[in-house]
Structures are given as C-alpha cells and as structure tokens.
Amino acid sequence: MHTWTRLVAVLSVVTAINAQNLILTNDDGWAVAQIRAQNDALNAAGFNVVLSAPAENESGQDLRFNASDTRLNYVNSFPVDAVRFGIQTLAPEFFGSAPDFVVSGPNVGNNLGSGVTGSGTVGAACEAALEGIPSTAFSGDTASQVSYTTLDSSPNSQSSLAARLYSTLTVTFVQTLLASSARPVLPPGVTLNVNYPSTSGCSAAADYSWVFTRLTPNSSAVDVETCGSDHLPDETSVVDRSGCFASVTVINATTKTDVDAATQGAVLARLTGLVTCLPS
Ligand SMILES: *[C@@H]1O[C@H](CO)[C@@H](O)[C@H](O)[C@H]1NC(C)=O
Ligand SMILES: *[C@@H]1O[C@H](CO)[C@@H](O)[C@H](O)[C@H]1NC(C)=O
Ligand SMILES: *[C@@H]1O[C@H](CO)[C@@H](O)[C@H](O)[C@H]1NC(C)=O
Ligand SMILES: *[C@@H]1O[C@H](CO)[C@@H](O)[C@H](O)[C@H]1NC(C)=O
C-alpha cells in the first residue's frame, strides 16, 4: 500500500471509531421502555450516550429512584429542562464538550402536523436546536407507557417489540445524518420531526421506507424539488397511509412550522440514500 493511501486508511479508521456523543431525552420519563430500548440500541451501535429525561411520566407518576448507571439521569422538571441539563451540565461532565447530537424520544404516540406545538418531545428537540445542538424528535404509533423492566420481563409484548424496532430505525437515521463529517449537521434554527407508523404489518426494520415530508399541507407553498414535484406530502398522510412509511419533516425550532425550500434541501442532501419516493 502506498504510504499516503495507508495514512488516509488509518485516519478514516480513527474517525470511524471516534464515538459520537449523544444526549438522549424524551417527555414520557426516564424509566419508560422506549427510551431505555433507544439507549441500549444507540450504545450497541457505538454511540456514547448520556440519558437526561424527566423524572415523572406524563401521568405525573414520580419515577425517582436510584440508578446505578450514572449515564441514566432523571431531572425533576419539564422535558425542555431535562435536555438543557443534559446539554449544559452532563455533556461537559461526561464528554468534556458539547454533545454532537440530541435524540429526543421515541415518544409514546405520534406527534404530527400542527399538533407538534404541544409535544414535549418536539419541544426538547427544538430547545437543543436553539442551543446550537443538532437534534431530531422521534415518535412512534405503537407504544404504551410501560416501565423499562418490561423489556426484559415481557420481551415479546407488543410494547417491547415496538420499542426495539423503533430504536433500531432511530439508530439507522442518526447514523445516516451523522455519516458525513461536513458541519453543521443541520442548518441553524431547525430540528427534524420523525414519525414511525404502526408496527402492525411492519414488524421488521427492513419493512420501513423513509419519506421526506412537510408538517402541514399547503398547496401554495413551494417545497424542495424531489420525487418529481415541488410539493412534499404532509407527514400525517404519509404515516397514516398503508405500507410502512416513516416521515421526516424539517421544522423551524422557534415557530414549529415548515421551513423554506432551500432549508429543506440542505437536510435532504444529508439523507440521500435513506429517503425514498412514495409509490405513485
Ligand atoms: C438513593 O440512594 C441514597 C444514597 O445511597 C439513599 O439514601 C436513598 O434512600 C436512595 N433512594 C431510593 C429511592 O432508593
Ligand atoms: C406511567 O403512569 C401510568 C399511570 O399512572 C402507569 O400505569 C405507568 O406504569 C407509568 N409508567 C412507568 C414507566 O412507570
Ligand atoms: C424561523 O422563524 C423565525 C420567525 O419567523 C425566523 O426569523 C427564522 O428565520 C426562521 N428560521 C428558519 C431556519 O427557518
Ligand atoms: C402556505 O404557504 C404560503 C407560501 O409560502 C404562505 O404564505 C402561507 O402562510 C402558508 N399557509 C399556512 C397556513 O402555513
């Protein structure tokens, strides 16, 4: 091997094994099965993960108890406070730097269209983006608020299977987004809203396709040109249609509304090879 070629080969290995530092958060609470399955899957994929999520679940149940793993943290406050604590306090402590990325979710239940304004999962992803950390909110249709202990006690329950499946899909998505070393990962001031459809009839990761979408239908808006059109499908219709389509929407982290075509295009470029067109 030529010396230069060898040097380049060594450098790319160093880059590949240089684990990316992630903060993981949600709004269902730090002890819910979905976030723990996501934590397991991201760690197994080689990411360096610190979890920082609310102490209470959405029903207000206090889930504070001691974790032996210091990378699993609860914050007795709102999701936005939990992610802020992760970024501002835990990341310097564990990573010695800002996190490379924030994963919010997967949420128990979809967060679609104008409904995202009420979502703590989307809110936490927006907060990360506004602090300059690239982020994505993930939500899944098939899920229930059950304890992480059920992942082991009932590994074949619908909740456990969905939690494992969605977490596998999330790893694929994050790996794709972070694959290029070009920075920034995402344009400033935006976050992504990803929604997974029901696992019914979509039981394997390979069954899923990813579709680039907009938040709300708007026939007068001009979107990024893709799939032979400059009108993106709206995420609700994509997640609800038959087949196994996950939606990917770029949203303004301040207004939680759709962004312009150029901003959509910058994100779409990073997802080349992952997103596909809807069948006509
Ligand atoms: C957590 O650990 C502390 C210190 O070991 C102990 O005093 C406390 O009772 C524990 N809390 C729970 C809920 O187990
Ligand atoms: C969240 O709260 C509900 C209702 O109180 C409860 O049934 C559920 O087990 C809780 N989730 C967790 C993760 O403990
Ligand atoms: C988000 O919306 C605000 C308020 O309309 C606007 O000033 C900002 O430029 C938008 N950011 C992006 C990335 O679209
Ligand atoms: C639809 O898009 C047009 C053109 O971008 C914009 O002026 C309008 O505010 C949008 N309507 C809604 C409801 O978002």
Q: What is the pLDDT of residues 20-62, one digit of tens each?
A: 999 999 999 999 999 999 999 999 999 999 999 999 877 778 8
What is the per-residue pLDDT for 164?
98
Q: Which atom of ligand 2 is nearest to the CA of 145?
A: 11
**Mean pLDDT rounded to a whole number for the chain:** 93
Helices 158-178 and 33-44, axial angle in degrees (round to 10): 40
What is the per-residue pLDDT for 12?
43
Are 84 and 115 in contact by the 8 Å Cβ rule? The answer is: no
What is the per-residue pLDDT for 181?
92
CA distance 53 to 85: 9
Q: Does residue 76's CB lie within 6 angstroms of at least one atom of ligand 2?
A: no
Q: Does residue 218's CB lie within 6 angstroms of at least one atom of ligand 4?
A: yes
| Closest ligand relative to 64 C-alpha | 1
Percentage, residues of the chain above pLDDT 90: 87
Best mutation site among 114, 215, 220 for ligand 4 pocket (most ligand atoms within 8 Å of CB): 220
Q: Does residue 125's CB lie within 6 angstroms of at least one atom of ligand 2?
A: no
Q: Does residue 68's CB lie within 6 angstroms of at least one atom of ligand 4?
A: no
Res. 122: pLDDT tops 50: yes
Res. 14: pLDDT tops 70: no
Mean pLDDT of 88-93: 97
What is the per-residue pLDDT for 206?
97
Looking at the domain covering 20-276, what would its CATH class be? alpha beta
Q: Which atom of ligand 2 is nearest to the CA of 148?
A: 13
CA distance 75 to 81: 7
Element containing residue 21 per DSSP (H, E): strand 21-25
CA distance 189 to 207: 32
| Whether this model's pTM surpasses 0.95 | no
CB burial of residue 1 (10 Å; 0-12, 13-18, 19+): exposed
Residue 107's SS3 state is: strand
254 CA to centre of ligand 3 in angstroms = 7
CA distance 174 to 179: 8
Q: Does residue 54's CB lie within 6 angstroms of at least one atom of ligand 2?
A: no
- Interval 172-230: pLDDT, tens: 999 999 999 999 999 999 999 999 999 999 999 999 999 999 999 999 999 999 999 99
What is the per-residue pLDDT for 18?
61
Percentage, residues of the chain above pLDDT 70: 93
Dihedral angle sign, alpha carbons of residues 178, 182, 188, 193: negative
What is the per-residue pLDDT for 5?
45
Which has more confidence, 277 or 57?
Answer: 277
Which two tokens mark 244? 């196994």
66 CA to centre of ligand 1 in angstroms = 6
Mean pLDDT of 114-143: 97
Instruction: Give the number of other Cβ atoms within 10 Å of residue 63's Cβ.
Output: 18
Mean pLDDT of 97-115: 97
Residue nearest to atom 8 of ligand 1 (CA): 66
What is the per-residue pLDDT for 143?
86
